[in-house]
Amino acid sequence: MGDKGRINSEGQIQSTLVHGKYELGRLLGHGTFAKVYHARNIGTGKNVAMKVIGKEKVIKVGMMEQMKREISVMKMVKHPNIVQLHEVMASKSKIYIAMELVRGEELFNKVVKGRLGEDVARLYFQQLISAIDFCHSRGVYHRDLKPENLLLDEDGNLKVSDFGLSAFSEEHLRQDGLLHTTCGTPAYVSPEVIAKKGYDGAKADLWSCGVILYVLLAGFLPFQDENLMVMYKKIYKGDFKSPPWFSSEARRLITKLLDPNPNTRITISKIMDSSWFKKPIPQSLMRKKKEENELFDFEEKDNKCEISKTMNAFHIISLSEGFDLSPLFEEKKRVEREEMRFATAGTPSSVISRLEKVAKAVKFDVKSSDTKVRLQGQERGRKGKLAIAADIYAVTPSFMVVEVKKDNGDTLEYNQFCSNKLRPALRDILWTSPPENSSIPS
Protein backbone atom coordinates (compact mmCIF):
# COMPACT_ATOMS: atom_id res chain seq x y z
CA MET A 1 0.00 0.00 0.00
CA GLY A 2 3.03 2.29 -0.26
CA ASP A 3 4.23 4.56 -3.04
CA LYS A 4 4.86 3.31 -6.57
CA GLY A 5 7.25 5.20 -8.83
CA ARG A 6 10.61 6.90 -8.66
CA ILE A 7 12.07 10.38 -8.17
CA ASN A 8 14.34 11.75 -10.89
CA SER A 9 17.37 14.03 -10.47
CA GLU A 10 15.19 17.17 -10.61
CA GLY A 11 13.11 15.96 -7.67
CA GLN A 12 10.12 15.08 -9.88
CA ILE A 13 8.13 12.00 -8.97
CA GLN A 14 7.47 9.97 -12.14
CA SER A 15 4.39 7.76 -12.56
CA THR A 16 3.80 7.67 -8.83
CA LEU A 17 0.63 6.45 -7.19
CA VAL A 18 0.36 6.93 -3.42
CA HIS A 19 -1.67 4.25 -1.65
CA GLY A 20 -3.43 3.53 -4.92
CA LYS A 21 -5.32 6.79 -4.42
CA TYR A 22 -3.28 9.87 -5.38
CA GLU A 23 -1.35 10.46 -8.56
CA LEU A 24 1.62 12.76 -7.92
CA GLY A 25 2.64 15.43 -10.43
CA ARG A 26 5.01 18.36 -10.59
CA LEU A 27 7.08 19.71 -7.70
CA LEU A 28 5.54 22.84 -6.16
CA GLY A 29 8.19 23.61 -3.56
CA HIS A 30 10.56 22.10 -1.04
CA GLY A 31 12.07 22.68 2.38
CA THR A 32 14.73 21.01 4.51
CA PHE A 33 12.71 17.90 5.31
CA ALA A 34 9.84 17.85 2.82
CA LYS A 35 8.87 18.33 -0.80
CA VAL A 36 5.41 19.47 -1.86
CA TYR A 37 3.90 18.12 -5.08
CA HIS A 38 0.75 18.75 -7.05
CA ALA A 39 -1.39 15.60 -6.72
CA ARG A 40 -4.76 14.35 -7.91
CA ASN A 41 -7.18 12.01 -6.18
CA ILE A 42 -7.85 9.51 -8.99
CA GLY A 43 -11.19 8.53 -7.45
CA THR A 44 -12.70 12.01 -7.13
CA GLY A 45 -10.50 13.99 -9.54
CA LYS A 46 -9.81 16.51 -6.76
CA ASN A 47 -6.45 18.32 -6.85
CA VAL A 48 -4.43 18.55 -3.64
CA ALA A 49 -0.99 19.59 -2.43
CA MET A 50 0.93 16.49 -1.29
CA LYS A 51 3.65 17.04 1.29
CA VAL A 52 6.19 14.18 1.09
CA ILE A 53 8.45 13.75 4.12
CA GLY A 54 11.36 11.30 4.40
CA LYS A 55 10.98 9.40 7.68
CA GLU A 56 14.68 8.62 8.13
CA LYS A 57 15.77 12.24 7.73
CA VAL A 58 13.15 13.49 10.21
CA ILE A 59 13.99 10.84 12.81
CA LYS A 60 17.74 11.49 12.41
CA VAL A 61 17.39 15.15 13.43
CA GLY A 62 14.78 14.44 16.12
CA MET A 63 11.94 16.26 14.33
CA MET A 64 9.36 13.46 14.45
CA GLU A 65 7.48 14.93 17.42
CA GLN A 66 7.31 18.35 15.76
CA MET A 67 5.94 16.77 12.61
CA LYS A 68 3.33 14.81 14.57
CA ARG A 69 2.34 18.04 16.33
CA GLU A 70 1.89 19.83 13.00
CA ILE A 71 -0.43 17.05 11.80
CA SER A 72 -2.42 17.07 15.06
CA VAL A 73 -2.81 20.86 14.91
CA MET A 74 -3.95 20.84 11.28
CA LYS A 75 -6.60 18.22 12.10
CA MET A 76 -7.93 20.50 14.85
CA VAL A 77 -8.02 23.83 13.04
CA LYS A 78 -10.65 23.64 10.32
CA HIS A 79 -11.39 27.19 9.21
CA PRO A 80 -11.96 28.94 5.83
CA ASN A 81 -8.75 30.96 6.29
CA ILE A 82 -6.51 28.04 7.28
CA VAL A 83 -5.01 25.55 4.82
CA GLN A 84 -7.04 22.36 5.23
CA LEU A 85 -5.51 18.95 5.90
CA HIS A 86 -7.32 16.14 4.03
CA GLU A 87 -5.52 12.98 5.15
CA VAL A 88 -2.21 11.48 6.26
CA MET A 89 -0.70 8.30 4.79
CA ALA A 90 2.61 6.50 5.24
CA SER A 91 4.85 3.95 3.58
CA LYS A 92 7.97 2.32 5.03
CA SER A 93 10.17 5.27 4.10
CA LYS A 94 7.86 8.28 3.67
CA ILE A 95 4.97 10.18 5.20
CA TYR A 96 2.40 11.74 2.86
CA ILE A 97 0.20 14.63 3.94
CA ALA A 98 -2.61 15.53 1.51
CA MET A 99 -3.55 19.19 1.97
CA GLU A 100 -5.75 21.81 0.36
CA LEU A 101 -4.18 23.07 -2.86
CA VAL A 102 -3.98 26.86 -2.69
CA ARG A 103 -3.55 28.00 -6.29
CA GLY A 104 -2.77 31.68 -5.68
CA GLU A 105 0.48 33.07 -4.30
CA GLU A 106 2.19 33.97 -1.03
CA LEU A 107 1.02 37.26 0.44
CA PHE A 108 4.74 38.07 0.62
CA ASN A 109 4.88 38.22 -3.20
CA LYS A 110 2.21 40.93 -3.23
CA VAL A 111 4.10 43.04 -0.69
CA VAL A 112 7.38 42.69 -2.61
CA LYS A 113 5.67 44.45 -5.53
CA GLY A 114 4.78 47.38 -3.28
CA ARG A 115 2.71 48.38 -0.25
CA LEU A 116 -1.04 47.71 -0.24
CA GLY A 117 -3.86 50.20 0.10
CA GLU A 118 -5.63 50.26 3.46
CA ASP A 119 -8.81 48.63 2.15
CA VAL A 120 -6.91 45.66 0.68
CA ALA A 121 -4.67 45.36 3.76
CA ARG A 122 -7.76 45.47 5.99
CA LEU A 123 -9.40 42.61 4.09
CA TYR A 124 -6.32 40.38 4.53
CA PHE A 125 -5.88 41.44 8.16
CA GLN A 126 -9.53 40.67 8.98
CA GLN A 127 -9.10 37.17 7.54
CA LEU A 128 -5.82 36.70 9.41
CA ILE A 129 -7.34 37.72 12.74
CA SER A 130 -10.37 35.48 12.11
CA ALA A 131 -8.06 32.48 11.57
CA ILE A 132 -5.82 33.27 14.56
CA ASP A 133 -8.81 33.85 16.83
CA PHE A 134 -10.09 30.41 15.81
CA CYS A 135 -6.70 28.79 16.55
CA HIS A 136 -6.50 30.45 19.96
CA SER A 137 -10.04 29.32 20.83
CA ARG A 138 -8.73 25.75 20.33
CA GLY A 139 -5.63 26.40 22.46
CA VAL A 140 -3.32 26.48 19.42
CA TYR A 141 -0.65 29.16 18.87
CA HIS A 142 1.04 29.44 15.46
CA ARG A 143 4.31 31.09 16.62
CA ASP A 144 5.70 31.72 13.12
CA LEU A 145 3.30 34.18 11.52
CA LYS A 146 4.80 36.10 8.59
CA PRO A 147 3.69 36.97 5.03
CA GLU A 148 5.56 33.95 3.64
CA ASN A 149 3.23 31.66 5.64
CA LEU A 150 0.10 33.43 4.42
CA LEU A 151 -1.16 32.12 1.09
CA LEU A 152 -3.80 33.54 -1.24
CA ASP A 153 -6.23 31.33 -3.14
CA GLU A 154 -7.66 31.98 -6.61
CA ASP A 155 -10.37 34.23 -5.15
CA GLY A 156 -7.86 36.28 -3.15
CA ASN A 157 -8.80 34.71 0.20
CA LEU A 158 -6.04 34.47 2.77
CA LYS A 159 -5.01 31.01 4.05
CA VAL A 160 -2.68 30.54 7.04
CA SER A 161 -0.18 27.72 6.49
CA ASP A 162 2.89 26.09 8.04
CA PHE A 163 1.96 24.98 11.56
CA GLY A 164 5.35 23.30 12.04
CA LEU A 165 6.27 25.60 14.94
CA SER A 166 2.80 25.77 16.48
CA ALA A 167 2.14 24.80 20.08
CA PHE A 168 -0.83 23.50 22.04
CA SER A 169 -1.67 25.35 25.23
CA GLU A 170 -0.81 22.17 27.18
CA GLU A 171 2.64 21.88 25.60
CA HIS A 172 5.90 23.68 26.39
CA LEU A 173 4.33 25.09 29.55
CA ARG A 174 6.07 25.34 32.89
CA GLN A 175 4.34 25.92 36.20
CA ASP A 176 4.04 29.63 35.41
CA GLY A 177 1.63 28.73 32.58
CA LEU A 178 3.87 30.32 29.93
CA LEU A 179 5.55 28.97 26.81
CA HIS A 180 9.34 28.77 26.95
CA THR A 181 10.42 27.61 23.48
CA THR A 182 12.09 30.31 21.39
CA CYS A 183 11.04 30.08 17.77
CA GLY A 184 9.80 32.12 14.84
CA THR A 185 11.41 34.50 12.35
CA PRO A 186 13.49 37.29 14.03
CA ALA A 187 11.82 40.32 12.41
CA TYR A 188 8.34 39.07 13.39
CA VAL A 189 9.14 37.75 16.88
CA SER A 190 7.80 39.52 19.99
CA PRO A 191 10.10 40.99 22.69
CA GLU A 192 9.01 38.45 25.31
CA VAL A 193 9.94 35.52 23.04
CA ILE A 194 13.40 37.00 22.41
CA ALA A 195 13.84 37.58 26.17
CA LYS A 196 13.42 33.84 26.84
CA LYS A 197 11.56 34.56 30.08
CA GLY A 198 8.36 32.75 29.14
CA TYR A 199 5.51 34.13 27.09
CA ASP A 200 1.80 33.88 26.33
CA GLY A 201 1.44 32.26 22.89
CA ALA A 202 -1.68 34.26 22.03
CA LYS A 203 -0.04 37.60 22.81
CA ALA A 204 3.10 36.63 20.88
CA ASP A 205 0.97 35.77 17.82
CA LEU A 206 -0.73 39.17 18.00
CA TRP A 207 2.63 40.97 18.00
CA SER A 208 3.44 39.08 14.76
CA CYS A 209 0.05 40.13 13.37
CA GLY A 210 1.01 43.72 14.15
CA VAL A 211 4.29 43.39 12.23
CA ILE A 212 2.38 41.83 9.30
CA LEU A 213 -0.15 44.68 9.24
CA TYR A 214 2.68 47.24 9.30
CA VAL A 215 4.43 45.45 6.40
CA LEU A 216 1.21 45.31 4.34
CA LEU A 217 0.63 49.06 4.76
CA ALA A 218 4.26 50.23 4.61
CA GLY A 219 5.94 47.82 2.21
CA PHE A 220 8.85 47.34 4.64
CA LEU A 221 9.51 46.06 8.18
CA PRO A 222 8.95 48.16 11.34
CA PHE A 223 12.10 46.77 12.99
CA GLN A 224 15.13 46.21 10.77
CA ASP A 225 18.89 46.54 11.02
CA GLU A 226 21.87 44.70 9.56
CA ASN A 227 23.06 44.08 13.11
CA LEU A 228 20.71 41.53 14.70
CA MET A 229 21.33 42.77 18.25
CA VAL A 230 20.49 46.35 17.23
CA MET A 231 17.25 45.07 15.68
CA TYR A 232 16.43 43.14 18.86
CA LYS A 233 16.96 46.31 20.94
CA LYS A 234 14.44 48.13 18.72
CA ILE A 235 11.97 45.26 19.19
CA TYR A 236 12.46 45.32 23.00
CA LYS A 237 11.63 49.02 23.09
CA GLY A 238 8.89 48.91 20.47
CA ASP A 239 11.00 51.49 18.64
CA PHE A 240 9.42 52.02 15.20
CA LYS A 241 8.06 54.90 13.15
CA SER A 242 4.86 54.93 11.11
CA PRO A 243 5.12 56.32 7.56
CA PRO A 244 3.15 59.52 6.87
CA TRP A 245 0.65 57.71 4.63
CA PHE A 246 -0.71 55.61 7.53
CA SER A 247 -4.15 56.83 8.59
CA SER A 248 -4.45 57.89 12.24
CA GLU A 249 -6.69 54.87 12.95
CA ALA A 250 -4.19 52.43 11.40
CA ARG A 251 -1.31 54.05 13.30
CA ARG A 252 -3.26 53.76 16.56
CA LEU A 253 -4.04 50.05 16.03
CA ILE A 254 -0.47 49.14 15.04
CA THR A 255 0.91 50.98 18.09
CA LYS A 256 -1.37 48.88 20.32
CA LEU A 257 -0.33 45.67 18.55
CA LEU A 258 3.38 46.48 18.75
CA ASP A 259 3.25 47.24 22.46
CA PRO A 260 6.45 45.66 23.91
CA ASN A 261 4.58 44.98 27.16
CA PRO A 262 2.47 41.83 26.54
CA ASN A 263 0.26 42.64 29.54
CA THR A 264 -1.00 45.86 27.97
CA ARG A 265 -0.89 44.69 24.33
CA ILE A 266 -4.27 44.80 22.58
CA THR A 267 -6.43 41.64 22.63
CA ILE A 268 -8.27 40.06 19.71
CA SER A 269 -11.68 41.21 20.96
CA LYS A 270 -10.38 44.80 21.18
CA ILE A 271 -8.85 44.51 17.69
CA MET A 272 -12.21 43.42 16.29
CA ASP A 273 -13.87 46.31 18.06
CA SER A 274 -11.43 48.94 16.76
CA SER A 275 -12.72 51.53 14.30
CA TRP A 276 -10.08 50.68 11.66
CA PHE A 277 -10.84 46.95 11.75
CA LYS A 278 -14.62 47.42 11.63
CA LYS A 279 -14.63 49.63 8.52
CA PRO A 280 -16.67 47.93 5.77
CA ILE A 281 -14.83 46.60 2.74
CA PRO A 282 -15.74 48.50 -0.46
CA GLN A 283 -18.04 46.59 -2.84
CA SER A 284 -15.29 46.52 -5.48
CA LEU A 285 -13.20 44.29 -3.20
CA MET A 286 -16.00 42.00 -2.08
CA ARG A 287 -16.08 38.52 -3.52
CA LYS A 288 -18.88 37.96 -6.00
CA LYS A 289 -21.02 35.52 -4.13
CA LYS A 290 -24.17 35.61 -2.02
CA GLU A 291 -23.94 36.14 1.70
CA GLU A 292 -23.62 32.63 3.11
CA ASN A 293 -25.33 33.48 6.35
CA GLU A 294 -28.61 34.90 5.09
CA LEU A 295 -31.78 33.27 6.39
CA PHE A 296 -33.02 30.67 3.94
CA ASP A 297 -36.52 30.84 2.49
CA PHE A 298 -38.52 27.86 3.73
CA GLU A 299 -41.07 28.24 0.94
CA GLU A 300 -38.40 27.71 -1.74
CA LYS A 301 -36.97 24.57 -0.16
CA ASP A 302 -37.91 21.39 -2.04
CA ASN A 303 -37.33 19.28 1.04
CA LYS A 304 -39.81 21.11 3.24
CA CYS A 305 -40.54 18.81 6.15
CA GLU A 306 -44.14 17.80 6.79
CA ILE A 307 -45.33 16.81 10.26
CA SER A 308 -44.97 13.07 10.53
CA LYS A 309 -48.20 11.56 11.90
CA THR A 310 -46.53 8.25 12.67
CA MET A 311 -42.97 7.18 13.43
CA ASN A 312 -41.79 3.60 13.45
CA ALA A 313 -39.24 2.21 15.92
CA PHE A 314 -36.36 2.70 13.49
CA HIS A 315 -37.16 6.44 13.14
CA ILE A 316 -37.31 6.93 16.90
CA ILE A 317 -34.05 5.01 17.45
CA SER A 318 -32.32 7.08 14.77
CA LEU A 319 -33.42 10.25 16.56
CA SER A 320 -32.16 9.06 19.94
CA GLU A 321 -28.71 10.17 21.11
CA GLY A 322 -28.68 7.04 23.27
CA PHE A 323 -28.35 4.97 20.08
CA ASP A 324 -25.95 7.30 18.28
CA LEU A 325 -23.17 5.14 16.80
CA SER A 326 -21.30 8.00 15.08
CA PRO A 327 -18.52 8.15 17.72
CA LEU A 328 -17.45 4.67 16.53
CA PHE A 329 -16.80 6.04 13.07
CA GLU A 330 -15.73 9.65 13.67
CA GLU A 331 -12.71 11.18 15.39
CA LYS A 332 -14.78 14.16 16.52
CA LYS A 333 -14.91 14.56 20.29
CA ARG A 334 -18.37 14.54 21.86
CA VAL A 335 -17.75 18.04 23.23
CA GLU A 336 -17.57 19.17 19.59
CA ARG A 337 -21.02 17.82 18.59
CA GLU A 338 -22.93 19.74 15.97
CA GLU A 339 -26.40 18.52 16.92
CA MET A 340 -28.59 17.53 19.87
CA ARG A 341 -32.03 15.96 20.21
CA PHE A 342 -34.67 16.08 22.89
CA ALA A 343 -38.26 14.92 23.44
CA THR A 344 -41.09 17.11 24.65
CA ALA A 345 -44.81 16.94 25.26
CA GLY A 346 -47.03 19.44 23.49
CA THR A 347 -47.57 20.57 19.92
CA PRO A 348 -45.17 21.82 17.24
CA SER A 349 -46.55 25.36 17.64
CA SER A 350 -45.73 25.33 21.38
CA VAL A 351 -42.15 24.24 20.68
CA ILE A 352 -41.80 26.87 17.94
CA SER A 353 -43.06 29.64 20.21
CA ARG A 354 -40.56 28.59 22.89
CA LEU A 355 -37.68 28.66 20.40
CA GLU A 356 -38.83 32.07 19.15
CA LYS A 357 -38.80 33.28 22.76
CA VAL A 358 -35.20 32.03 23.15
CA ALA A 359 -34.20 33.84 19.95
CA LYS A 360 -35.73 37.09 21.19
CA ALA A 361 -33.93 36.81 24.54
CA VAL A 362 -30.50 36.40 22.93
CA LYS A 363 -31.20 38.87 20.08
CA PHE A 364 -31.09 36.26 17.32
CA ASP A 365 -33.06 36.58 14.09
CA VAL A 366 -35.68 33.85 13.69
CA LYS A 367 -37.62 32.31 10.83
CA SER A 368 -40.08 29.44 11.17
CA SER A 369 -42.48 27.20 9.27
CA ASP A 370 -44.86 24.52 10.57
CA THR A 371 -42.07 22.09 11.45
CA LYS A 372 -38.82 24.08 11.23
CA VAL A 373 -37.22 26.94 13.11
CA ARG A 374 -33.97 28.71 12.20
CA LEU A 375 -32.17 31.01 14.61
CA GLN A 376 -29.31 33.23 13.46
CA GLY A 377 -27.02 35.48 15.47
CA GLN A 378 -26.71 39.10 14.44
CA GLU A 379 -22.98 39.32 15.17
CA ARG A 380 -20.20 37.50 13.34
CA GLY A 381 -18.45 34.73 15.22
CA ARG A 382 -15.23 32.89 14.44
CA LYS A 383 -16.76 31.29 11.33
CA GLY A 384 -19.41 33.83 10.42
CA LYS A 385 -22.80 34.27 12.05
CA LEU A 386 -23.93 31.36 14.21
CA ALA A 387 -27.08 29.75 12.77
CA ILE A 388 -29.10 26.94 14.35
CA ALA A 389 -31.83 24.88 12.68
CA ALA A 390 -34.45 22.92 14.62
CA ASP A 391 -36.62 20.21 12.99
CA ILE A 392 -39.75 19.11 14.85
CA TYR A 393 -41.09 15.54 14.44
CA ALA A 394 -44.52 14.62 15.81
CA VAL A 395 -44.39 11.07 17.23
CA THR A 396 -47.98 11.42 18.45
CA PRO A 397 -50.27 14.48 18.38
CA SER A 398 -48.96 15.45 21.83
CA PHE A 399 -45.39 14.10 21.79
CA MET A 400 -42.51 15.70 19.81
CA VAL A 401 -38.91 14.86 19.06
CA VAL A 402 -36.86 17.97 18.28
CA GLU A 403 -33.57 17.78 16.40
CA VAL A 404 -31.31 20.84 16.81
CA LYS A 405 -28.35 21.25 14.43
CA LYS A 406 -25.65 23.81 13.75
CA ASP A 407 -26.51 25.30 10.35
CA ASN A 408 -23.63 27.78 10.12
CA GLY A 409 -20.80 29.15 12.22
CA ASP A 410 -18.33 27.72 14.70
CA THR A 411 -19.01 24.36 16.41
CA LEU A 412 -17.52 25.52 19.73
CA GLU A 413 -19.76 28.61 19.73
CA TYR A 414 -22.76 26.37 18.88
CA ASN A 415 -22.00 24.05 21.82
CA GLN A 416 -21.58 27.01 24.18
CA PHE A 417 -24.89 28.47 22.97
CA CYS A 418 -26.68 25.14 23.52
CA SER A 419 -25.17 24.68 27.00
CA ASN A 420 -25.52 28.25 28.26
CA LYS A 421 -28.66 29.53 26.50
CA LEU A 422 -30.76 26.92 24.75
CA ARG A 423 -30.86 24.05 27.23
CA PRO A 424 -31.58 26.22 30.29
CA ALA A 425 -34.40 28.00 28.40
CA LEU A 426 -35.99 24.68 27.36
CA ARG A 427 -35.49 22.83 30.65
CA ASP A 428 -39.13 22.99 31.76
CA ILE A 429 -40.55 21.59 28.50
CA LEU A 430 -38.23 18.58 28.17
CA TRP A 431 -39.79 15.16 28.51
CA THR A 432 -39.25 14.23 32.15
CA SER A 433 -39.85 10.46 32.02
CA PRO A 434 -37.22 9.17 29.62
CA PRO A 435 -36.02 5.56 29.40
CA GLU A 436 -33.02 4.72 31.56
CA ASN A 437 -30.64 4.85 28.61
CA SER A 438 -31.83 8.13 27.19
CA SER A 439 -29.42 11.04 26.97
CA ILE A 440 -31.93 13.87 26.94
CA PRO A 441 -30.11 17.12 27.77
CA SER A 442 -29.95 17.86 31.46
User: Residue 144 catalytic?
Assistant: yes
Determine the angle formed by the axes of helices 118-137 and 201-218, rounding to 10 degrees. 170
Please state, in angstroms and rounded to a whole number, the distance separating the CA atoms of residues 383 and 79.
Answer: 7
Which domains are present in the chain?
A: 3-100 (3.30.200.20), 107-285 (1.10.510.10), 303-429 (3.30.310.80)
pLDDT number for residue 304: 38
Specify binding-site residues for ATP. Answer: 55
pLDDT of residue 307 exceeding 70, the answer is no
Binding residues: 55
Q: What is the 3-state secondary structure (H, E, C) of 71-113?
A: HHHHHHCCCCCECCEEEEEECCCEEEEEEECCCCCEHHHHHHC
Percent of the chain with pLDDT over 90: 20
CA distance 213 to 222: 10
Name which of 156, 215, 158 is nearest 185 in CA terms.
215
Ramachandran angles phi, psi of 98, nearest 5° = -85, 120
DSSP bridge partners of 112:
none
Instruction: Please count the other Cβ atoms lying within 10 Å of the Cβ belonging to residue 276.
Output: 19
8 Å CB contact between 231 and 187: yes
pLDDT tens for 366-412 read 888 878 888 888 888 877 888 888 888 876 666 778 888 888 888 88
List the catalytic residue out of 144, 200, 205, 410. 144
pLDDT band at 14 (very low <50, low <70, confident <90, very high): low
214 pLDDT above the threshold of 90:
yes
- Binning pLDDT at 50, 70 and 90, where does residue 7 land? low
Q: Which SS3 state, helix, strand or coil, does residue 44 take?
A: coil
